[in-house]
Structure 1
Amino acid sequence: MSWLYLMIFIPFIFAIFVPFIYKLFGTRIHTGWFVFFAPLAVFLYLLKYIPMISKGESVHSKLAWMPSLGINFTTNIDGLALIFGLLITGVGALVVLYSIYYMSKEREALHNFYVYMLLFMGAMLGLVLSDNILVLYVFWELTSISSFLLIAYWYQRKGSRNGAQKSMLITIFGGLAMLAGLIMLSMMTDTYSIREILSKVDLITSHSLFIPAMILILLGAFTKSAQFPFSIWLPDAMEAPTPISAYLHSATMVKAGIYLVARFTSVFGGSAEWFWIVSSIGLITLIYGSINAVNQKDLKGLLAYSTISQLGLIMSLLGVGSASIYFGYGDESSVYAFAVLAAMFHLINHSTFKGSLFMVVGIIDHETGTRDIRRLGGLISLMPISFTITVIGSFSMAGLPPFNGFLSKEMFFTSMITVIESPVFGMESIGLLFPIIAWVASIFTFIYCMILVFKTFLGKHRPEKLDKVAHEAPIGMLIPPMILAFLVIVIFFFPNVVSEYFLQPALIAVLPGFAAAGGIDVEISAWHGWNTELFMTIGVIVLGAFMYYYLRKWSRIYSYYPQVLTLNNFYNQLLAGMEKLSSKLTKQYMTGFVRDYLVYIFTFMIALLGCSLWLSKGFSFNATNDAPINLFEGGAIVAMLIAALTVVFSKSRITAIIAVGALGYLVSLFFVIFRAPDLALTQLVVETVTAALFLLCFYHLPELRKEKSKVPFKVVNLLISLGVGVIVTLIALSVNNHRLFESISYFYEDSYTLAGAKNIVNAILVDFRGLDTMLEILVLSIAGLGVYTLIKLQLAGREKK
């Protein structure tokens, strides 16, 4: 039996104990040492699946949740899920280790930090391992909520609050759109299982909901993975502490959208719409992020836009690779499938070099007190280890050998050239734009990588501009980025090991049509001869170095771009406009007059219920089988009418309260007539208490003032009151004549045998619906405690005065 689903719960279980550990040990032992074992344990457990997954197999586990609704907590691990699972836990363990030395146990609320971190980690694991689309959505939204908490960790800062709000609004919007798309998929396939959905591709592609479902799911993926134009939330999220940035924005959260696109490529891929949307948005995001990264003055801002750029690169590869389905998994399709392999490879490489760079930037900030590039420089002699790690990570991101980014960048160029050599979906005319955009974006990537290295570590050291005396970080803080930098180099020299055990299984998971062939035959090597890709790389280096050298002269062009046309300005204007519109609309109906609110409620009730029953022809009743009304019952009804009219036309509050009480007592009389003495006693007690409370409350109100009301005012009141009375009466009469289902009263007739109760009402309240009664008592208790607290606070305030 597989305990895979249990691995998802481990972070949540650890999160429960974190506050107690923090309170128990306080500042004596860093809470991170306890948290560190959660991702480490899951990472080591997932390693055992590598031999099995590398053979093209997958592992499933199931935990019953709501089986009657077809919703179970089913998990599935294949090549794609394994890569993400290992990244989530492996990088997570390194980030936790890094945070132990980065986050001060004396000054930081570490219990909050690690609870949020573990919640996010568990949500990401649940997202990538889930086989149920509804469970996937639950974890998807949990990642948005937990990332909101992480980004707003330093909530005292306005920037942190704004960044968290922006990320929440954009990703939640995408999540809701994705939910609608997933529901459409379940409607088309009559299943919630992702594996079963993937097996019914023919049914989906021929359905009328194919395009709407595709667009909605892509909205979710694009917002989460910061694709253009939704990328504006990622730079603002850099207000979070560096460990959070290193974890969320290099290895995990921003990769969730990549996972979603990869997972559903076999469903929507092969269509021109999917190809053009995914590849085009990816390329636009790639060049948008790389161009903006060059203009950043903050190191984390530079890394934020570089992350946007790299995510666009991976997304464009998935879009291009989806064309392989169009060719039917033949030899020609393997040319495009190569792009999917490249996407998975760069996914791994990006997590290694970008994770190490985020950590180094955090070290620079931690040890110098600033991330402003204009204040930095000359740190190479003071922070040699950090400089070495930065060189490895930056040169890998720039696509230079001997680092893993060079290999996946060459594969990226190869995939972009493919669209020219083997055009599909009308690319004959504009296919040349793909490699051109890729090449131009790579030049800007080279430039901002050089900025990161040379502007920070070379040049003149200016200690007077730093907030701290610069020095190298402690070894504990350096170990995690050193491990990632080491992997950057190891992967470069042993790429085919990664391909055999990770990339090929992931390719089969994304494009299951290649399962029979065991993937595609690819030999990853650093030297391919003097081909187009190599000449493109040489051009990137030459032109990139030239542009970097003259950066000051041409970078002024950024200042000419009007700020009113920026995406952030559009977002701010949209948010401000929505707030103004909602405020204006709210003021139209929130008048502060209770009568108006009752008019809205009752008018809506009359319209909704009246129209629904009229259209469904529900207004019908037959009184032939009803029991006759005797003189005593008729007299009680007349008395109730008189009491009700007295409440309406009374000019004294005391008279109205007494009339309401009399009406309640008359209702209890009917309970006696219909042989329900316990209900009658309950009604009497309730009416007595209610009347007393009314008298107590109204005693403190000002006297009634006689004001002349306009005729339309009274007419509206009359019409609404008559309408409500008529609708409720007709519904009551119609319900008695429409029995769509067999009555459940027969079940309660055997209450003595089932519950040992001689009173059927007591049996229903205490036994059959005991949970409802308990919750009602709980609500009343909470309300009572609230009232008691308010009274105590008011009395305490008076004593202070």
Structure 2
Amino acid sequence: MIILLPFLLAALMLLMKQKNTRLHLGWIVLPLPAALFIYFLMRIPSIRAGEPIENSITWMPSFGVNISLVLDGLSLLFVLLITGMGALVVLYSIYYLDKLMEGIRQFYIYLLMFMGAMLGVVLSDNLMVLYGFWELTSISSFLLIAFWHRRERSSYGAMKSMLITVFGGLAMLAGFNLLYVMTGTYSIREIIAQAGTLTESGMFIPSMLLILLGAFTKSAQFPFHIWLPDAMEAPTPVSAYLHSATMVKAGIYLVARLTPLYAGQSEWFWLVSVTGLVTLIYGSFKAIRQTDLKALLAYSTISQLGLIMSLLGLGSAAAFFTGTGDAVFYTMATTAALFHLINHAVFKGSLFMVVGIIDHETGTRDLRKLGGLMSLMPVTFSIALIGTFSMAGLPPFSGFLSKEMFFTSVLNIREFDILSSGYWTQLFPVIAWIASVFTFVYSMIFVFKTFRGKLREDKLDKVPHEAPLGLLLSPVILISLAVVFAFFPDLVSATLIEPAMSSIHTGLLAPEEAFEVSIHFWHGWTPEIFMTLGVIAAGTLLFRIYTRLRVLDREAGGTNALSRMYDFSLRLLEQGSRRLTDAYMTGSGRHYLIYIFSFFIISLLTVLLRQPGISFGMDQYASLSFYELAVVAAMLLAAFAVPFAKSRVSAILFTGGVGYMVTLLFVLFRAPDLALTQMIIETVSVILFLLCFRYLPKLKKQKEPLRFKLPNLVIAAGAGITMTLIALAAMGTSPFEPISEFFLKESYNQAGGKNVVNVILVDFRGFDTLFEIMVLGIASLAIYGLIHLRMETELPPLEPAKKELLPLRSNDVILQTVSKGIVLVILIFSLYLFFAGHNHPGGGFIGALMASAALMLIAIAFGMDQVRKVLPVNYRLLTASGLMLAILTASGSFLFDAPFLSHTFGHFYLPVLGDTELATAVLFDLGVFLAVVGVTMTIILSIGGEKKWNS
């Protein structure tokens, strides 16, 4: 329920109507993250005691995919960040965003979707479930970044973040599947338990590389960082939440979670630590060159993420010293990573909010226009000062403590010679120190270039003044934590960092090496202190002169090289795909059929003829009767008549005749369910064809001499022969016993139904049916949307002579009179088919088609408007209701710890009816019934009820 609550509230907001404009929607959202934050705070004692909270819901056990959730030390740290920052961001957005702003409802819905997805990522123990939530974070962040969708840069930034992070996510999915192949499980804990036996597998290193690709793209590591600066087009609350505290930390979480699995590999150490250090120094260098405050914070975020990633890489060195005292020595880096993770969320979240306040009160974020705001905005200045000093690693703020631990870690790693690394590790402290100097410089640029100097009111869009209390409240709370955590670091070290460290280093430390995290301000005159003093001295000098250095003064014109490479690659891909598409998309239906059937014949016929053991024998088949031969002959004649028909109506009727002959074959073969379905499908299809073709001009056939085309003959004959051989091979070659025997024996024992066909549809193969009605629903909405676009300028004008074809209504009095009685009979029969379907021929699908046929008869006899009067239903909502009922019925099995789509049945004594069998599958079948009726009538009413086109 914890994961579901944000999604449920988002769905509730979608259905709500905001009648009271005095209430900001944020006040409805705020209690949820606040309550979740308190709930998780209350779980700290049990997590500290080494008692993780676990829960598992059976979903798809045959695939090894269950909804397994685990709250341990590491996930607790992240869920507190997600919910705590979420509450503060929602509070901030209440005062930042106008309550009457267009799209305010969508903003909070997207934000709740993201919150739920992030909770799913950090709580999931199953890799497939984790991947699902991982991609949902990409989708929801795309929607949030593109919130100002009318701005070209917003759409560009959203698409860029989506393409890069989803690309990494797909690579990560491949890595997860490699782990499954090696271990036979998707459970993270079970995979880590087998870590010692996996290192010799040839798939171990590829899985590591693919998973790191996903982590690096999500956490904006070099060179995949290019999406993050463009994502700053999102509203400031989104930047404060997604791009400083939560989404960009998903990759950090994944690396930390899988450290026990991969930490013993030198490739893991070098890739994670070096990528992090490169990202650290690159991001800090680029931040200095920015003139937009949000762009500066974007590159500083990239830099800080690189710092945390490098610390996780350095901390993985503990795996090489398992069972020795050196292991604890190297876990200092992991401790620093977790502590800086918290500090970064605190100071960067508050700084993003400060940028929003500056933009809100001055109308600009451009450093070239800002200055002199210190006296006008003293509270905002104080927040910015503490935040930037903490980001720069200056005392007495918490950022100083984690930065000192970072220096300790890079100094310690110089002793790390197990990999014969030579002098390469000697460069780690140098890179860290240079990057820290750059960090100091851009921190000073942020605060002093904005708040000191001369006020330039002529360049500002608004008269600057201090922000209201509501806007200041969230950043004040955040920045206060930077001071509290500095003087009382045990508040987080004992409660959050130690349990998280235990989760990360499971199996890497011997039991006797259980460590305690101790964070202090003063450790004497250590090398780290001298490095900090050097950073302050060099950083102050560089801040004074950086405007004179062309390489640091301003951002080079246009986008950077990596972004240009991304844009060029995208254009190249689009041009190549366009050329390829133009080469085969000729506009000729004949060409398309040639492509499809040629591939069909070559691929399948090759397999059939070359694969050993395939038999086409017909000894086991029954002999054909006279009636069957007659039906087949009639079917062939109807099919042969289609291309020679003189009108479209004739062609449609001949096509329907083929379908009705198939129906008759099913009757002869004693398959009543299939016969009923085929008959109603044909009826609906014929009417649908007639509705579509009535808008086309009259068919005019040019008299041309009949020409013989050899390619057409070869392809037609090849397709027919191939399909015939496939049917024969399927019957004569299967090495397995027919599955039909299982269904015949178990349909009643396991599903309580005697109609095997219906039992298969709603129980044994319920997944197929569920996805089929989903596809039908999507198709009906697509048809509805296309027809109601009403793009008059693009539609060809309808000739006046054909306007009399538009009304779809019969003037036949006999038809109108008879249909009144027939419709009632058909509707009653459709209900009978639905209720009887579990034990007799029928079911939800057939009953729905029969009910739709009755409504179509009303439309033909009396017109489309009469259908709306007889049954004034929004059929799109009916489709959604059917889908929702089917999904809820399928999910109800979770309440009884049964797999998704499990059904049960029993016998009950009911008044009047007596002993009655009730099955939950009937509810699922009711969802199918409603969805199919909704789909069918949406399509029919959209096509047949469309008003005439403007000529």
> What is the TM-score with the length of structure 1 in the denominator?
0.92
Q: Aligned runs of 1:107-118 on 2, under 5 Å? A: 107-118=101-112
Equivalent position of 1:788 in the other structure: 941
C-alpha separation in 1, matches of 2:526 and 2:707: 88
C-alpha separation in 1, matches of 2:440 and 2:837: 81
Distance apart, 1:334 and its partner CA: 1.9
Equivalent position of 1:76 in the other structure: 70
Higher mean Cα deviation, 312-321 or 191-200? 191-200
Match of 1:456 among 450, 454, 459: 450
Match of 2:699 among 687, 697, 702: 702
Distance apart, 1:677 and its partner CA: 7.9
Match of 1:732 among 698, 702, 727: 727
C-alpha separation in 2, matches of 1:549 and 1:404: 26
Distance apart, 1:497 and its partner CA: 3.5
Distance apart, 1:442 and its partner CA: 0.6
C-alpha separation in 2, matches of 1:274 and 1:219: 12
Query: CA distance change for structure 1 residues 95 and 663 in 2, over 3 Å: closer, same or farther?
Result: closer
- Asked if 1:762 corresponds to 2:757, the answer is no
- Asked if 1:487 corresponds to 2:485, the answer is no
- Asked if 1:89 corresponds to 2:83, the answer is yes
C-alpha separation in 2, matches of 1:20 and 1:420: 59
Equivalent position of 2:596 in the other structure: 601
Distance apart, 1:253 and its partner CA: 0.5
Higher mean Cα deviation, 623-632 or 300-309? 623-632
Higher mean Cα deviation, 723-732 or 462-471? 723-732
- Asked if 1:589 corresponds to 2:742, the answer is no
C-alpha separation in 2, matches of 1:314 and 1:685: 63
Distance apart, 1:648 and its partner CA: 5.3
Query: CA distance change for structure 1 residues 703 and 33 in 2, over 3 Å: closer, same or farther?
Result: same
Equivalent position of 2:152 in the other structure: 158
Deviations 1:117-141 (Å, cap 9, x if unpaired)? 1111111111111111111111111
C-alpha separation in 2, matches of 1:684 and 1:488: 72
**Which amino acid is 2:386 matched to?**
I
Higher mean Cα deviation, 632-641 or 532-541? 632-641
Query: CA distance change for structure 1 residues 556 and 205 in 2, over 3 Å: closer, same or farther?
Result: closer
Deviations 1:158-201 (Å, cap 9, x if unpaired)? 11111111111111111111111111112211112111111110
- Asked if 1:554 corresponds to 2:552, the answer is no
Equivalent position of 1:3 in the other structure: none
Equivalent position of 2:277 in the other structure: 283
1:259 alignment partner, SS class: helix
C-alpha separation in 1, matches of 2:385 and 2:265: 41
C-alpha separation in 2, matches of 1:624 and 1:558: 86
Q: Aligned runs of 1:325-336 on 2, under 5 Å? A: 325-336=319-330
Deviations 1:536-558 (Å, cap 9, x if unpaired)? 11111111100110121014556
**Which amino acid is 2:737 matched to?**
F
1:428 alignment partner, SS class: coil
1:621–1:734 CA contact under 8 A, matched in 2: yes
Q: What CA RMSD, in Å, does the superposition of the two structures yield over aligned residues? A: 3.0
Query: CA distance change for structure 1 residues 377 and 635 in 2, over 3 Å: closer, same or farther?
Result: closer
Distance apart, 1:709 and its partner CA: 8.8
2:18 alignment partner, SS class: helix
Equivalent position of 2:737 in the other structure: 741
Equivalent position of 1:580 in the other structure: 575
Equivalent position of 1:410 in the other structure: 404
C-alpha separation in 2, matches of 1:639 and 1:182: 55
Q: Aligned runs of 1:103-142 on 2, under 5 Å? A: 103-142=97-136
Once the two structures are aligned, what percentage of the paired residues are identical?
Answer: 52
C-alpha separation in 1, matches of 2:8 and 2:290: 40
- Asked if 1:219 corresponds to 2:213, the answer is yes
2:647–2:699 CA contact under 8 A, matched in 1: no
Distance apart, 1:145 and its partner CA: 0.8
Equivalent position of 2:490 in the other structure: 496
C-alpha separation in 1, matches of 2:682 and 2:340: 72
1:623 alignment partner, SS class: coil
- Asked if 1:751 corresponds to 2:747, the answer is no
For structure 1, the residue ranges without an aligned partner over 5 or more in a row are: 1-5
Query: CA distance change for structure 1 residues 13 and 417 in 2, over 3 Å: closer, same or farther?
Result: same
Higher mean Cα deviation, 206-215 or 626-635? 626-635
1:395–1:449 CA contact under 8 A, matched in 2: yes
> What is the TM-score with the length of structure 2 in the denominator?
0.78
- Asked if 1:623 corresponds to 2:618, the answer is yes
Higher mean Cα deviation, 13-22 or 461-470? 13-22
Query: CA distance change for structure 1 residues 198 and 636 in 2, over 3 Å: closer, same or farther?
Result: closer
Match of 1:245 among 239, 242, 245: 239
1:258–1:314 CA contact under 8 A, matched in 2: yes
C-alpha separation in 2, matches of 1:789 and 1:709: 39
Match of 2:191 among 197, 206, 212: 197
- Asked if 1:255 corresponds to 2:249, the answer is yes
Distance apart, 1:37 and its partner CA: 0.7
Deviations 1:548-577 (Å, cap 9, x if unpaired)? 101210145566968686111011101111
2:2 alignment partner, SS class: helix
Deviations 1:438-495 (Å, cap 9, x if unpaired)? 1111111000000011100000011111111101111121111111111101111112
1:419–1:427 CA contact under 8 A, matched in 2: no
- Asked if 1:58 corresponds to 2:49, the answer is no
**Which amino acid is 1:347 matched to?**
L
Distance apart, 1:619 and its partner CA: 3.9
1:74 alignment partner, SS class: strand
C-alpha separation in 1, matches of 2:225 and 2:618: 66
2:842 alignment partner, SS class: helix
Distance apart, 1:689 and its partner CA: 7.3
Higher mean Cα deviation, 170-179 or 648-657? 648-657
C-alpha separation in 2, matches of 1:617 and 1:347: 60
Higher mean Cα deviation, 257-266 or 775-784? 775-784
2:490 alignment partner, SS class: helix
Distance apart, 1:410 and its partner CA: 0.7
**Which amino acid is 1:8 matched to?**
I
C-alpha separation in 2, matches of 1:349 and 1:359: 16
* Alignment: residue pair count: 790
1:56–1:518 CA contact under 8 A, matched in 2: no
**Which amino acid is 2:935 matched to?**
I
Deviations 1:604-649 (Å, cap 9, x if unpaired)? 2223332333344464233334333355654555555455444456
Deviations 1:70-104 (Å, cap 9, x if unpaired)? 32222111111111111111111111111111111
C-alpha separation in 2, matches of 1:680 and 1:491: 74
- Asked if 1:394 corresponds to 2:394, the answer is no
Query: CA distance change for structure 1 residues 791 and 478 in 2, over 3 Å: closer, same or farther?
Result: same
2:386–2:397 CA contact under 8 A, matched in 1: yes
Query: CA distance change for structure 1 residues 298 and 728 in 2, over 3 Å: closer, same or farther?
Result: same
Query: CA distance change for structure 1 residues 403 and 623 in 2, over 3 Å: closer, same or farther?
Result: same
Query: CA distance change for structure 1 residues 794 and 429 in 2, over 3 Å: closer, same or farther?
Result: same
**Which amino acid is 2:475 matched to?**
P
Query: CA distance change for structure 1 residues 752 and 122 in 2, over 3 Å: closer, same or farther?
Result: closer
1:702 alignment partner, SS class: coil
2:730 alignment partner, SS class: helix
Query: CA distance change for structure 1 residues 728 and 398 in 2, over 3 Å: closer, same or farther?
Result: same
C-alpha separation in 2, matches of 1:112 and 1:268: 40
**Which amino acid is 1:746 matched to?**
L
2:498–2:517 CA contact under 8 A, matched in 1: no
Deviations 1:26-64 (Å, cap 9, x if unpaired)? x21111112111111111011112122223332212233
Query: CA distance change for structure 1 residues 716 and 260 in 2, over 3 Å: closer, same or farther?
Result: same
Match of 2:528 among 526, 533, 539: 533
C-alpha separation in 2, matches of 1:689 and 1:354: 60
Equivalent position of 1:233 in the other structure: 227
Match of 2:564 among 565, 569, 575: 569
Query: CA distance change for structure 1 residues 634 and 182 in 2, over 3 Å: closer, same or farther?
Result: closer
1:368–1:467 CA contact under 8 A, matched in 2: yes
Higher mean Cα deviation, 779-788 or 254-263? 779-788
**Which amino acid is 2:938 matched to?**
L
